[in-house]
Amino acid sequence: MIDERVRYGRRLRRLRRAARRWSVLAGALAGAAAVLTPYSGLGLIDAFWAALAGGSVTLASWRWADYRALAAQPVPPPLDPAAVADQARSRVEMFVAGFPGGREAVAELRRQADRIRLRASAVAPGWRRLDQAAAVLNSFALRPGGPGETAVLEAAVAEGGLRALAKRAAGVERGLPYGGSQESLNQTLSALVAQFEQGVTAYEELVGAAAAYAAEDGRTIREHQSVSQLAEATDLLRGIALGFAELRQDDRLRA
């Protein structure tokens, strides 16, 4: 994120330096033209000096006009420190994610940071249960394109919603000391925590169903594709070896 305040200051200083530079050059050229111009009239070289002096004066006036116009504009507000920190963190995460295993490391660091922020809240137990269930669900190697994969994608969306709900409940809990109606806030917090707990329970049931599906899906296939491929490769190599052996035997008989 570019700091517009810093950019504004740089442009202002650059225009001021340019205006001063052209002003000095215009004064020098105007003085030189006044001294070198003879009283008897202007020659070709004198006209050249006069043209340079006039052009420098014009450019200096333009630069001063640009400087005054920019200085008259309101100064942009400074950047939010939180936004700057978020941008720096995003850049570091993108850099780390480019390495092998970097995405998994970044995701684990985020989970650890969220767990630390919520460790003393009412949703901390449910958050730990959700982390464990999500880790189990992500460990399933389901067939691509099957109904299990669709269910896993829907579970990922539901997990994001549950985590947002937990963070909202933790925010309400942190705001309890500053609230006017403690009873109303406590009721709201209890309702949010109950919703989160129910969602975590439903998520755990989904993980159990996904485990059952993965087990039954593996049993319906009598022979795995990799096993059949290995068997075919073995038969092919054995056939080639037998062919070579027959060729050597024929060569011996001919000899």
pLDDT in tens, the chain (255 residues): 556 777 888 888 888 888 888 888 888 877 777 766 665 456 666 677 677 777 888 888 888 888 888 888 887 777 666 655 666 666 766 765 666 666 666 666 777 777 777 777 888 888 888 888 888 887 776 666 666 677 778 888 888 888 888 888 888 888 887 766 677 778 888 888 899 899 889 888 888 888 887 777 656 555 556 666 777 777 777 777 777 777 777 767 666
Same domain (yes/no): 126, 212: yes
Write the pLDDT tens digit of every residue in 187-212: 888 888 899 899 889 888 888 888 88
- Report the pLDDT value the prediction gives residue 179, as an integer from 0 to 100: 66
Q: Alpha-carbon distance 174 to 89, whole Å?
A: 25
Residue 255 domain-assigned (yes or no)? no
Give me the residue label for tokens 């000096």: 49
| Contacts with 81 (C-beta within 8 Å, 6 or more apart), sequence order | none
Cβ atoms 50, 37 nearer than 8 A: yes
At residue 1, the 3 state secondary structure works out as coil
Distance CA 167, CA 160 (A): 11
How much is the pLDDT for 41? 58
133 and 204 together in one domain? yes
Q: Which of 85, 87, 134, 82 is nearest to 108 (CA)?
A: 134
- Give the whole-angstrom CA distance, residue 91 versus residue 22: 41
- Domain assignment present for 112: no
95 to each of 20, 90, 189, how far by Cα in Å?
43, 9, 38
| 208 and 127 share one domain | yes
- Integer Cα distance of 18 and 164 in angstroms: 53
pLDDT at 246: 75
Q: How many CA atoms lie within 13 A of 29 on its CB side?
A: 22
Answer whether 147's CB lies under 8 Å from 99's CB: no
Instruction: Say how far apart CA 4 and CA 76 lie, in whole Å.
Output: 6
In a domain, 93, yes or no: no
> 122 by DSSP, 3-state: which?
coil
* Domain assignment of residue 124, given as a range: 118-221
Q: How far apart are CA 81 and CA 165, in angstroms?
A: 26
Tokens 């305040």 locate to 5
Same domain, 135 and 210: yes
- Let me know whether 132 and 196 are in one domain: yes
Decide if 43 is inside a domain: yes
Residues 192 and 123 in one domain: yes
Q: What is the identity of the amino acid at 248?
A: R
In a domain, 90, yes or no: no
Residue 96 lies in a domain: no
- Whether 83 maps to a domain, the answer reads no
| Within-domain flag for 214 | yes
- Please give the tally of structural domains in the chain: 2
Tokens 């008259």 identify what position?
A: 72
Whether 8 and 65 share a structural domain: yes
Whether 205 and 135 share a structural domain: yes
Dist CA 8 CA 245 (whole Å): 84
70 vs 64, 92, 168, 209, 219, CA distance in Å?
10, 35, 44, 65, 74
Q: Are residues 131 and 217 in the same domain?
A: yes
Q: Which of 160, 138, 128, 133 is nearest to 214 (CA)?
A: 138
